[in-house]
Structure formats: C-alpha cells, structure tokens
Amino acid sequence: MENSKSLRTWLDDFKLSHPLVIAGPCSAETEEQVMEIARELKDSDVSIFRAGIWKPRTRPGGFEGVGEIGLKWLQKAKAETGLLMAVEVANEAHVKSALEHDIDVLWIGARTTVNPFAVQEIADALKGTDKIVLVKNPVNPDLSLWLGGVERLYNAGIKKLGVIHRGFSTYEKTKYRNIPEWQIAIELQSRFPDLPLICDPSHITGRRDMILEVSQQALDLNYDGLIIETHNDPEHAWSDAAQQVTPDALKQIFIDLRIRKMTDEADDYNQKMAALRTQIDEIDSKLIESLGKRMKIADKIGALKKEKNVAVLQNKRWNEILGKMVLEGEEKGLSEEFILKMFKAIHQESISHQEKVINHK
C-alpha cells in the first residue's frame, strides 16, 4: 500500500495520552442495556463504544442480533454520552444501514475477512465515505488474507484503516479461545508500521479472568489499542457471557495496566541494550548454523532411506524426539507450546529435505 502514513491519521485525531480503548457489549440486547453501559463508560478511558447488531453464529438457532433497531439505540447513546459508535458489518446491506445511522466505526469480523468477495462488497459500499474501518484477522492464520482485506478497502479509497488482532481458531486445546499467534500480527506490523493495530483480548481468551494478562502482552508489544467486551450483567449476557467484563472491572484493568515507553534516552540503558542485543545476534547466528548442520544430516538420512527404499515419515521416531524436547525445554524455561511449534517447523523442513533427496533423479 502506498502512502501508508495516511492510515494512522484517524488515530492521531483522538490525541490520546493512553492507548485507544473500544468497549461495549458483545451484543446490543435492549435499549436500556445499551444506554446503561454507555453511561457507565462515558467518564472512563473509553473513546469508542462497540456493540454487535448483527451476530454471525456458527449454527442457526442462536441469538443473531437485534438488527437495525439496535442502530437507533446507538444513535441515542452517542447523543447522550458523546462516545463514538462502532458495529460489525458483514455485507453491503449492513454497511448501508450503518451509514444511514451515522455509525462512526465499522469493523469487518473474522468470519467475513476470510471471504474476499464479501470484503470487496463492503469496500465498494464504503466508497466515498470517511469512516474508520477496522479489519479483524481471519479465523485461520493467514497473513496474506488479512492484508488482502486491508488492501481491498484501501484501494476503494478508505484511508482511516486499522486492524484488530483477535486470535486464530484451532482444534488444539489450549488456554486460549483463539490462539494469539503473536508473530503473525508482529509480521503485519513490521510490513506496515503505520497501520494501527488493536488487540481483542476478549476473543483471544474467551475468559474474563485473562483479559488483563493478554491486554498487557499487547501493550508490551506496542499495540495501539484494545477492544474489550463490556457488559453491565455479563453472567446473563445473550452472547459470549464468559469473556465480558463489567464497566467497573474494565476501569480496574485500566488502573492495573502498565503503559510502556517506546525507549529510554539514558546512556546506561542504550549501552546495556546494545550489549544484550549483540548477545542475541550471536546466538541467533549460531542457531542458524546449527539448523543448517541439522538439515545436512537430514539430507544424509534421506539418501540412506532412498538406498534402502524406506519411507520418509517415521512417526515413532518423531514422537520420541518431540517428547524428549518438550521435557528438555521445560528444564530451560521454555513453554510446551513454543517447543511444539518450533520442532514441528524443524521436522517439516527435515522432511522436505529428505523428500528432495529421495525424489531427485
């Protein structure tokens, strides 16, 4: 994307002394509920009020949102509190209704981001508007698909763009509802450093007791803001009850969060940091050298298997390696999740090397 600096202008308009905070219920349920939550958030660090009007459900029969009537409630909440209003849109009709009700921020959900046709339809419907548009990561860990959604909107002339990191779905059982895969968001940020990056700890965790932890991780990684689901009676919420916090709990999160400085100009800091980074660089070089040596051994293993007509994949051996490495990793303070990801990648590269040797004519 050219002139990516223009993408940050909408965030600069807020002139905030703290990270941007978007908060509100997963779903707008009643006018009274919307108004009560908005009033409680008015005098806090919240700048944008969010509420789901149309709720995409995995299977039919669940609560799918109140629909267009909810937009009128948001208009009323905006008039009374002065908060900007944000809703999720999934098609042209949603965009049209949101614009007619002067909604300030529109976001594209994870299920919609995976569909380029739907994103293009939304982009076309938004042409000529000056709204803030946020793109959630797709449900699957696909950086290109995420970037593609942003590019479609940018090409439609939408300049006030940002992205929301809400984690990625997986069949693996972890402590997260959606695994963060921080490295994907970091890669996006490294490619487009002026693209505002907002973390959605509610959907990453699926649990209100983990919101603070993940919010702090995001701020430590220099995210620009947070979007946190907030409900006046979360236990009885009509959708995603377990991951919503009360307005009071949200305010406590603001108090507990530590906002990090980008850097420190002190000489002792810079000297110590330079020395530590030099150590990291040396270790990284040795890691690459060791991995290169490992793959040369994998080539020899491939040649031996080719000679003896043995299958490349040896599950028993692989499982033994994995179990051993997890135990050794724990002794070195490395998480099982990290060890599994790292050695799965190493194993896949090793398999690829062996296959090239075996299939070489």
Cβ neighbours around 102 below 10 Å, total = 12
CA distances from 325 to 17, 107, 293, 352 (A): 45, 42, 18, 21
Average pLDDT over residues 130-146: 95
pLDDT of residue 119: 97
pLDDT beyond 90 at 74: yes
DSSP 156: T
**Structural domains in the chain?**
4-256 (3.20.20.70), 267-359 (1.20.59.10)
Beta-sheet pairing, 20-24 with 225-229: parallel
Question: What DSSP element (H or E) covers 20?
Answer: strand 20-24
As a whole number of angstroms, the distance between CA 106 and CA 94 comes to 10
CA 341 – CA 182 distance, rounded (Å): 13
Instruction: Share the mean pLDDT of the chain.
Output: 91
Residue 149 scores a pLDDT above 90: yes
**Predicted confidence (pLDDT) at residue 206 exceeds the cutoff of 50:** yes
Please report, rounded to a whole number, the percentage of residues in the chain having pLDDT higher than 70: 96
Give the model's pLDDT for residue 1: 59
Q: What pLDDT does residue 259 have?
A: 85
199: helix, coil or strand?
Answer: strand
Summarised one tens digit per residue, pLDDT across range 165-205 is 999 998 777 899 999 999 999 999 888 888 999 999 999 99
The per-residue pLDDT for 3 is 46
Instruction: State pTM to two decimals.
Output: 0.80
pLDDT digits (tens, 9 = 90+) for 301-316: 989 988 889 988 888 8
Rounded distance, CA 167 to CA 147, Å?
A: 15
Share of the chain above pLDDT 90, in %: 71
DSSP symbol at 245: B
pLDDT in tens, 237-255: 999 999 999 999 999 999 9
Residues 81-94 have pLDDT tens digits of 999 999 999 999 99
237, 26 in Cβ contact below 8 A? yes
| Contact predicate 326/273, CB 8 Å | no
The sign of the torsion formed by the CA atoms of 69, 84, 45, 110 equals positive
Provide the residue type at 126 as one letter.
L
Contact 301, 294 (CB under 8 A): no
Q: Give the ranges where the chain is alpha helix by DSSP (H).
A: 9-12, 31-42, 69-81, 92-100, 110-113, 116-126, 143-155, 182-191, 201-205, 211-220, 247-256, 267-308, 315-331, 336-359
CA distances from 86 to 109, 190, 262 (A): 12, 27, 29
In this predicted model, what pLDDT tens digit does every residue of 10-35 receive, in sequence order?
Answer: 777 777 777 899 999 999 999 999 99
What is the arithmetic mean of pLDDT over 129-144?
95
When pLDDT is averaged across residues 220-232 and rounded to a whole number, the result is 95
